[in-house]
A and B are shown apart, each in its own frame.
Chain A
């Protein structure tokens, strides 16, 4: 640093001081400042931690280096070692008494699907009593699940691998829209579809994936971002690109032609099929940054329909939770805001990795869910750069001149600015068994971040 450089000034605080600089014809950039959330002493401790900047740089480097290859499709019992009656679900841990309608509905459906209960009433009774059944967060096993996110032993899962770290991640196969288990529906057509997926779709995808080289999911994500998908609420291009990868091997298999046709119709008719591959790819990216002491980067954002929970690189697998917000958006059919359940699902892993709501600019169609305009979408992504530690050059947004997606949400930037990560999401019906009622936008509750800040402060170095 030397004093001979002509000053250009950033000001934070009293506008009068910025005005005095402008009066001297100085180039002034004025911060839109507001009082931070949370405890001033905790913020000072974390900001003053000399490990913070290098640790966050390491976290970003690790996230950007992560890759994601689809290497197999197998039953969850095999991939995740789930025993009978052992379920995984979305979000932070939640007990039956506090579980939301869609989470309860999905658990009931899981019981019916696994043959652990004969009727929904029977399933509820056994779930409430914990009779022969237990459940834990998908994230506790390195997996992710959309909405209620149920993974049961018999379900088939995508298995993704990051060659840069050797980490693996798993996600269920996407069931389609409307009345589906992940939105809490458990009617006969839901269970029947799950059985078909287990009997036909899973094995066929396994054959296709095993037949060729691992599918480079990260490469497809990079392309879909340039094609108008943000990877959370829009996966249209991604789904078709994935189908292109596996279609020849599906056709070129010993499966019955009718089954192949049904599988292709199912995948191509479901614009969200690829979401269940984007999510574990994002999980691998976020997980690459886990366990970096001093880092304030968020590594997990997930919801169970009751609570929103986050984890950070500097605090291991500790959850910081607060009651989940309810999304705002457009509703299907005659559903309205009163029908919507609070935010649910592990799919906010896409935002954690810097796409989804953070890449809104590439998919302006999404902001129309809340009556927004194209400039709103562009502004949203540009705002997100203020709360992230860097950008992902692998995921370039054309309309922002191929600038990389904002990556690595920084707890300190969130609490200081009051700007929360933007999340694009589906909406589940509040009542168990309803299914999807809409889609829209939501943000995490601020207390998740202020709690994380306090935990980071408690572990800070001077």
Chain B
């Protein structure tokens, strides 16, 4: 029995809905369940699952179940939604939960705002946060470019900083915001136009015993000509003025040339030394940047640990297939791989001519970023819900042209509780099919998932495991053999 409902007047965030969907799908007698806001992507998803979905607006809640007893499944949906809603305290006279950032700030005396509302609305919430005088992180993606510029100008007028939009990672005063690894406190301040790049750098520094004061994300577009480094410049000033920060490192893709000049000029004018880790062809990778930072901070650098896997070599003549949750990690792996292989197809291609089609079908050596905007509209980020990637991992394993698989696993606050567990069955399948899998793990000893346990689970399933993403990419190239 199938049932499709659209419910009006209910909004629940995509992560909670994913948890509700999973809980319902796990019930006995339930074949499939999708509880999601009725975005285009989710409607397509429902159609792909065989549901007939009526026209709907993204503000409606789609409840689609296929079950022996639809009533029982829907009852579970209702229960799960009820438990997920956090009702206001109902004590005598206590105030109901705040409904705007401004009212929340006024009541709580907060200093920081973390906005992760859907992209088309995030601007309003972020302006509200700036008006309340808060350091504002905009986690949301799909925020229009002109709104990003307007937001950053607003922040400048208010003497504040906007981190983002599309800022996945920040650490402020030891508190991780969004996706962040648990790192020791220390002298290094990071300005990052790259979320997983910042995470990887922090994890490598922590592994080398060097701590972080603050990591200020600025959003991937900040160093573009349009945004002109507005938040990067502001973040440099803030870190320069911060007593805990002795050394600053800027992590980004190569900026627009005139923006690079402005950023370098600002960096040169500061009292605090500034290092640059700009990803690009012929430039240092994140691991090399980490080594330079550790040395500049007076620490001792040793190559990050790795563990060899169990399948000796790739399918002869096969292609390299990289499936990533981290955009920067995907970029870095493509830079390493394309130096040896030439063309690497991608949904975030190094060269526009290397773009994969809209169906994301693999085309020779291919690397995909599952965290790309187009794949997260109305869906949780793959670091929270890796289901789409696992599905693709199985498909690539079955594809006879696949030679070696390359993956990343990103641990830390905000990420899934046990990402290795989600991958292990697919890793076993790959080993059985004779496809080697190389995994880079970004994480620290104090991350909630447990770095050692995650590595052990992945390694136990036969994967090559590296704590350096660049080293993982090189390992994958080695396993691929001679690029004939």
Q: Given A3-B214, A50-B157, do A10 and B242 touch, yes or no (CB 8 Å)?
A: no
Which B-chain residue is minimally distant from A462 (CB atoms)? B150
Q: Is the CB of B110 within 8 A of A399?
A: no
Which stretch in A34-42, A254-262, A347-355 binds the other chain? A34-42
Q: Does B59 contact A (CB under 8 A)?
A: yes
Q: How far is the CB of B226 from chain A (nearest CB, A)?
A: 15
Q: Does B307 contact A (CB under 8 A)?
A: no
Q: Does B116 contact A (CB under 8 A)?
A: yes
Give 5 A-B pairs besides A17-B178, A21-B175, A43-B123 with Cβ atoms closer than 8 angstroms. Answer: A10-B110, A12-B116, A15-B86, A16-B414, A29-B104
Q: Does A44 contact B (CB under 8 A)?
A: yes
Report the bound CA distance from A244 to B139 in whole Å: 60
Q: Is the CB of A31 within 8 A of B104?
A: yes
Q: Does B302 contact A (CB under 8 A)?
A: no
Q: Does A189 contact B (CB under 8 A)?
A: no
- CB within 8 Å of B: which A1-24 residues: 1-18, 20-21, 23-24
Q: Given A9-B113, A29-B110, do A379 and B96 touch, yes or no (CB 8 Å)?
A: yes
Which of B117, B123, B147, B160 contacts A33, CB < 8 Å? B117
Which of B123, B129, B134 contacts A48, CB < 8 Å? B123
Map CB proximity to B onto A397-434 as digits: 1 under 8 Å, 0 otherwise.
00110000000000011001111000000000000000
Q: Is the CB of B99 within 8 A of A386?
A: yes
Instruction: Give the residues in chain B near A53, CB-CB below 8 Å.
Output: 131
Q: Does B79 contact A (CB under 8 A)?
A: no
Which B-chain residue is minimally distant from A56 (CB atoms)? B131
Which of B91, B115, B161 contacts A13, CB < 8 Å? B115
Q: How far is the CB of B5 from chain A (nearest CB, A)?
A: 19
Which stretch in B11-19, B322-330, B359-367, B388-396 binds the other chain? B11-19
- Give 7 nearest A-B pairs by CB, closest first: A13-B116, A417-B99, A29-B108, A386-B103, A32-B97, A382-B95, A20-B413
Instruction: Give the residues in chain B near A20, CB-CB below 8 Å.
Output: 176, 178, 413-414
Instruction: Give the residues in chain A near B15, CB-CB below 8 Å.
Output: 14-16
Q: Given A1-B161, A26-B175, A382-B96, do A10 and B214 touch, yes or no (CB 8 Å)?
A: no
Q: Does A133 contact B (CB under 8 A)?
A: no
Q: How far is the CB of A462 from chain B (nearest CB, A)?
A: 8
Q: Is the CB of A47 within 8 A of B104?
A: no
Q: Does B241 contact A (CB under 8 A)?
A: yes
Q: Does B100 contact A (CB under 8 A)?
A: yes
Report the bound CA distance from A421 to B369 in whole Å: 45
- A-B pair count, CB < 8 Å, reads 214
- CB within 8 Å of A: which B123-162 residues: 123-125, 127-129, 131-135, 139-140, 147, 150-151, 154, 157, 159-161
Q: Given A10-B110, A48-B150, do A375 and B173 touch, yes or no (CB 8 Å)?
A: no
Q: Is the CB of B134 within 8 A of A33?
A: no
Q: Does B243 contact A (CB under 8 A)?
A: yes
Q: Does B93 contact A (CB under 8 A)?
A: yes
Q: Is the CB of B121 within 8 A of A15?
A: no
Q: Is the CB of A8 within 8 A of B108?
A: yes
Report the bound CA distance from A35 to B116 in whole Å: 12
Report the bound CA distance from A383 to B116 in whole Å: 23
Q: Does A378 contact B (CB under 8 A)?
A: yes
Which A-chain residue is minimally distant from B122 (CB atoms)? A13
Which A-chain residue is minimally distant from B175 (CB atoms)? A7
Which of A2, A12, A27 contacts B115, CB < 8 Å? A12
Q: Does A385 contact B (CB under 8 A)?
A: yes
Report the bound CA distance from A10 to B110 in whole Å: 6
Q: Is the CB of B127 within 8 A of A33?
A: no
Instruction: Give the residues in chain A near B243, CB-CB below 8 Å.
Output: 4
Q: Does B172 contact A (CB under 8 A)?
A: yes
Map CB proximity to A onto B61-104 as digits: 1 under 8 Å, 0 otherwise.
00000000000000000000000101010111101111111111
Q: Does A245 contact B (CB under 8 A)?
A: no
Which of A9, A36, A378, A417 contacts B177, CB < 8 Å? A9
Q: Does A124 contact B (CB under 8 A)?
A: no
Which of B113, B157, B242 contacts A12, CB < 8 Å? B113
Q: Does A62 contact B (CB under 8 A)?
A: no
Q: Does A374 contact B (CB under 8 A)?
A: yes
Q: Does B384 contact A (CB under 8 A)?
A: yes
Report the bound CA distance from A6 to B160 in whole Å: 16
Q: Does A317 contact B (CB under 8 A)?
A: no
Q: How far is the CB of A134 from chain B (nearest CB, A)?
A: 42
Q: Does A30 contact B (CB under 8 A)?
A: yes
Q: Would you list 16 pairs from A and B whose C-beta atoms are within 8 A, ordered by A residue? A: A3-B172, A3-B242, A8-B112, A9-B177, A10-B101, A10-B113, A13-B118, A20-B176, A29-B110, A31-B97, A43-B124, A44-B124, A50-B157, A375-B90, A385-B103, A400-B93
Instruction: Give the residues in chain B near A16, CB-CB below 8 Å.
Output: 13, 15-16, 384, 414
Map CB proximity to B onto A418-462 as digits: 1 under 8 Å, 0 otherwise.
110000000000000000000000000000000000000000001
Q: Given A48-B123, A50-B154, do A17 and B116 touch, yes or no (CB 8 Å)?
A: yes
- CB within 8 Å of B: which A72-108 residues: none
Report the bound CA distance from A3 to B140 in whole Å: 22
Which of B104, B123, B147, B154 contacts A10, CB < 8 Å? B104
Report the bound CA distance from A83 to B123 in whole Å: 52
Q: Does B4 contact A (CB under 8 A)?
A: no
Which A-chain residue is minimally distant from B135 (CB atoms)? A1
Q: Given A4-B243, A26-B175, A31-B98, do A14 and B14 touch, yes or no (CB 8 Å)?
A: yes
Q: Does B244 contact A (CB under 8 A)?
A: yes
Instruction: Give the residues in chain A near B121, CB-CB below 8 Å.
Output: 35-36, 40, 43, 416
Q: Is the CB of A7 within 8 A of B173?
A: yes
Q: Does B114 contact A (CB under 8 A)?
A: yes
| Of A2, A17, A40, A378, most B-chain CB atoms within 10 Å | A17
Which A-chain residue is minimally distant from B416 (CB atoms)? A16
Instruction: Give the residues in chain B near A378, CB-CB below 8 Å.
Output: 92-93
Which A-chain residue is minimally distant from B103 (CB atoms)? A386
Instruction: Give the residues in chain A near B114, CB-CB below 8 Å.
Output: 9-13, 17-18, 21
Q: Does B109 contact A (CB under 8 A)?
A: yes
Map CB proximity to A onto B268-289 as digits: 1 under 8 Å, 0 otherwise.
0000000000000000000000
Q: Does B238 contact A (CB under 8 A)?
A: yes
Instruction: Give the residues in chain B near A2, CB-CB below 8 Å.
Output: 238, 241-242
Instruction: Give the residues in chain A near B36, CB-CB below 8 Å.
Output: none
Q: Given A7-B111, A30-B86, do A399 and B238 touch, yes or no (CB 8 Å)?
A: no
Q: Is the CB of B100 within 8 A of A386?
A: yes
Q: Is the CB of B97 within 8 A of A3?
A: no
Which of A32, A44, A48, A375 contacts B93, CB < 8 Å? A375
Which A-chain residue is minimally distant from B111 (CB atoms)? A5
Report the bound CA distance from A32 to B104 in whole Å: 9
Instruction: Give the residues in chain A near B129, CB-CB below 8 Å.
Output: 10, 12
Q: Does B105 contact A (CB under 8 A)?
A: yes
Report the bound CA distance from A32 to B95 in whole Å: 13
Q: Is the CB of B92 within 8 A of A375?
A: yes
